[in-house]
């Protein structure tokens, strides 16, 4: 199972499917005003360390190996925080307690480092 894909997959996969079915052309990142509010809500829910922490803890309690794998969800959120800006899908990691988010740096180099760390961590776990 790809727990690391949950934070982005849950909110955006249904949107992509809907747009494909409706034959809405998708090129690049869509404007925020074209994205339905339920996507923003799902994004906040899946990018919350509080919500992910509770779910991953429950999974860890039920099955340690699944819980460790589910840690990819938390790692995704932690690594999103510095690479998302306030202007486009910031990371509300304290949601629903707070909408606080760090104004990160949208940099291709930082994003590449982000992915390299993810790959290294999950190669050796
Ligand atoms: Zn994300």
Q: Which pLDDT band holds residue 1 (cuts at 50, 70, 90)?
A: low
pLDDT tens string 73-100 = 999 999 899 888 888 899 999 999 999 9
On whether the CB atoms of residues 56 and 73 are closer than 8 A, the answer is yes
Distance CA 22, CA 81 (A): 32
pLDDT tens string 50-69 = 999 999 999 999 999 999 99
pLDDT tens string 95-114 = 999 999 989 887 778 778 87
Residue 73 has phi, psi (to 5 degrees) of -65, -50
The answer to whether the predicted template modeling score (pTM) of the entire model surpasses 0.85 is no
> Which residue range(s) make up the domain with 92?
3-124
**57 CA → ligand 1 middle, Å:** 20
Distance CA 58, CA 62 (A): 6
106: how many CB neighbours lie within 10 A of its CB? 12
Mean pLDDT of the chain: 89
Q: How many domains does the chain have?
A: 1
**63 CA → ligand 1 middle, Å:** 25
**23 CA → ligand 1 middle, Å:** 25
């Amino acid at each position: 199972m790809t727990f690391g894909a949950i934070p982005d997959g849950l909110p955006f996969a249904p949107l992509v499917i809907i747009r494909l079915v409706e034959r809405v052309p998708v090129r690049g990142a869509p404007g925020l005003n074209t994205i339905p509010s339920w996507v923003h809500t799902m994004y906040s829910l899946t990018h919350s360390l509080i919500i992910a922490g509770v779910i991953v803890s429950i999974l860890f309690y039920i099955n340690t190996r699944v819980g460790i794998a589910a840690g990819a969800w938390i790692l995704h959120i932690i690594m999103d925080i510095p690479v998302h800006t306030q202007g486009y899908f910031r990371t509300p990691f304290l949601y629903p307690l707070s909408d606080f988010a760090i104004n990160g740096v949208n940099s291709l180099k930082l994003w590449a480092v982000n992915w390299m760390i993810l790959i290294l961590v999950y190669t050796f776990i």
